[in-house]
């Protein structure tokens, strides 16, 4: 019996609950997240819908479609997985065929951030093109900064201020608030008493993103690292293709900035 591929679109609260019920077992199996995390994710994140592969009542593959704040219509693929017992049978390919159909009908783009670098080739075989690479480097702080926690909505305003000119693809304050309750910290920093930016910190001293004016970006990153104890890892876009490229029909300018903190 071939698995059925279905799309559940979030139109009302009952759709979110239906998605949660269908994805919870496979999500826990493949990613190890708690039922509480999955429940709050399905209820609080900007969820457009879910593409599911089913064998009877069992969900054997999934991909959630999130709606980021972006100038052009696009969906972000999240929690993409296949049940271990069904891997190697083209389930993820069938899920992405459905996603391609949805995006084609709605004239929308589609993005994923591979969980592991080696998955880049896998997604290329599904028809996606590499837009940018992501690097993580160790930094040693050289400048002194003063840090203080800030509200998620304040962090979102700073992101919009500093990244809007680069084709912002971000998340609203509710989404950032959710992330800050599950392992992230939004922190503002000042240089010589003057507020100049903020950063998002993941567990284990990984600075996922620094919001600051371009001419202060490297200085700001160094300040953040110094304030965290002198050494930390900083994640940043490693390379962006020159000119225009197309991701499933979505044209992207070369200065497009894609936020890196969504896991």
Q: Check which CATH number belongs to the domain holding 213 and give it.
A: 3.40.630.30
Distance between terminal CA atoms of the chain? 34
Co-location of 118 and 220 in the same domain: no
Strands annotated E in 45-128: 47-55, 58-66, 74-82, 109-112
- Are β-strands 257-258 and 58-66 bridged in parallel, bridged antiparallel, or unpaired? unpaired
Average pLDDT of the segment spanning 15-39: 96
Is residue 261 assigned to a domain?
no
Tell whether the model's pLDDT for residue 124 goes beyond 90.
no
91-105, 112-126, 227-241: which is most confident: 91-105
Please give the Cα distance from 20 to 147 (Å, whole number). 37
Q: Which domain holds residue 181?
A: 135-240
**In this structure, are 144 and 77 located in the same domain?**
no
Same-domain pairing of 151 and 90 = no
Report the alpha-carbon distance of residue 247 to residue 126 in Å, rounded. Answer: 12
Domain membership of residue 218 (yes or no) is yes
Query: Beta strand pairing status for 168-169 and 257-258?
Result: parallel
pTM: 0.78
Domain count, the chain: 2
Hey, which residues does 59 pair with through a beta bridge?
54
Clarify whether residues 12 and 111 are in a common domain.
Answer: yes
Shared domain for 54 and 31, answered yes or no, is yes
* Domain co-membership, 30 together with 104: yes
21 and 54 inside one domain: yes
Helices vs. strands in the chain: H and E counts, helices first: 7, 15
Higher-pLDDT residue of 173, 62: 62
- For residues 37 and 88, state if they share a domain: yes
Q: Which position has the token pair 């075989």? A: 125
Per-residue pLDDT of 156-184, as tens digits, reads 787 777 665 444 456 777 888 888 888 88
CA dist 15 → 9, 19, 46, 66 (Å): 7, 6, 13, 14
| The pLDDT value given to residue 257 | 42
């Amino acid at each position: 019996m071939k698995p059925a591929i279905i799309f559940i679109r979030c139109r009302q609260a009952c759709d979110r609950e239906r998605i949660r019920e269908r994805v919870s077992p496979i999500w826990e199996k493949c990613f190890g997240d708690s039922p509480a995390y999955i429940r709050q994710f399905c209820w609080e994140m900007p969820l457009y819908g879910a593409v599911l592969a089913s064998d009877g009542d069992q969900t054997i593959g999934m991909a959630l479609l999130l709606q980021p704040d972006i100038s052009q219509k696009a969906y972000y693929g999240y929690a993409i997985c296949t049940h271990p017992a069904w891997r190697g049978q083209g389930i993820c390919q069938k899920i992405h065929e459905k996603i391609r159909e949805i995006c084609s009908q709605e004239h929308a783009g589609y993005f994923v951030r591979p969980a592991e670098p080696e998955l880049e080739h896998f997604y290329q075989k599904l028809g996606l093109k590499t837009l940018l690479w992501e690097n993580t480097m160790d930094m040693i702080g050289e400048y002194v900064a003063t840090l203080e926690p800030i509200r998620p909505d304040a962090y979102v305003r700073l992101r919009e201020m500093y990244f809007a000119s680069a084709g912002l693809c971000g998340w609203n304050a509710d989404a950032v608030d959710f992330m800050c309750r599950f392992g992230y910290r939004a922190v503002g920093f000042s240089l010589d008493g003057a507020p100049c930016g903020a950063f998002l910190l993941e567990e284990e001293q990984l600075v996922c993103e620094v919001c600051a004016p371009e001419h202060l970006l490297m200085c700001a990153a160094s300040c953040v690292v110094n304030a965290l104890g002198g050494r930390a890892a900083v994640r940043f876009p490693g390379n962006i293709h020159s000119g225009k490229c197309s991701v499933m029909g979505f044209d992207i300018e070369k200065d497009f900035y894609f936020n890196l903190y969504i896991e």
